[in-house]
Amino acid sequence: MTQIYTILFDLDGTLIDTAPDLAVAHNHVMRKFGHETKELVEVKKNVGKGAWVMMQKSLKNKTINKEVQKEMTKEFVDFYGKNIANNSKPIEGLFEFLDWSKTKNISLAVCTNKEERLAVDLLKKLKLFDYFEYVAGHDTFAFNKPDARHLTNVIEIVGGDPKRTIMVGDSEVDEMAAINAKLPFILVADGYTERTIEQIKHDVLIKDYVGFDKIISKYL
């Protein structure tokens, strides 16, 4: 059967609710370096742009020198990598949708601003990795979202057609990547963003993957 469609997914907040484990790692670093910890709801707003950006937003106007930035980022990545799947869970209905996609010969890939090795490890630990033909992290290429090439390179790698590809994500970073790559964009509600649903341009809004096959069927 010939491939009929390609779906690109963000990871954090889109495929998997990773905020609980990210928040624990974030607060571990904050405590270790003498800064205030944050509630889960605050950490969620700053996920998706990289570890340092997330912590920097929590620090607000505090000036942190480059060496300490590197130390904090390394501490975050090391701690998070060891505790990556303690409380992270796939979004409801995801396994059922991925199984359905495979019966339709839809190509599935991940485009995340998480480190590639961390993304792969998380997907493997949650038994999701084998569903995806390719996983691109923020360090896979010399560029990452919202750069269109983060998406278009993956489409090319999996042998897809940009005119028959859609992007699924939960934030303005995913929105802009989709716009830059000229792809339709499906927004997952309650995502990891400071913006409201109204502030993120999208073609379709979903809250989870229950019944998502009916939405995708309209694109096939």
For 42, other C-beta atoms within 10 Å of its C-beta total 14
10 flagged as catalytic:
yes
How far apart CA 3 and CA 156 sit, in angstroms, is 13
For 177, other C-beta atoms within 10 Å of its C-beta total 27
- State the catalytic residue, choosing from 10, 12, 21, 170: 10
In terms of Cβ atoms closer than 10 Å to its own Cβ (0-12, 13-18, 19+), residue 71 is middle
The CA–CA distances, whole Å, from 184 to 150, 162, 180, 181, 202 equal 15, 10, 11, 9, 8
Identify whether the C-beta of residue 54 lies closer than 8 Å to the C-beta of residue 26: yes
Identify whether the C-beta of residue 22 lies closer than 8 Å to the C-beta of residue 80: yes
Identify whether the C-beta of residue 26 lies closer than 8 Å to the C-beta of residue 184: no
Residue recorded with tokens 């000229």: 182
Question: Which residues make beta-bridge pairs with 204?
Answer: 186
The DSSP string of 55-83 is HHHHHTT----HHHHHHHHHHHHHHHHHT
Residues assigned a catalytic role = 10
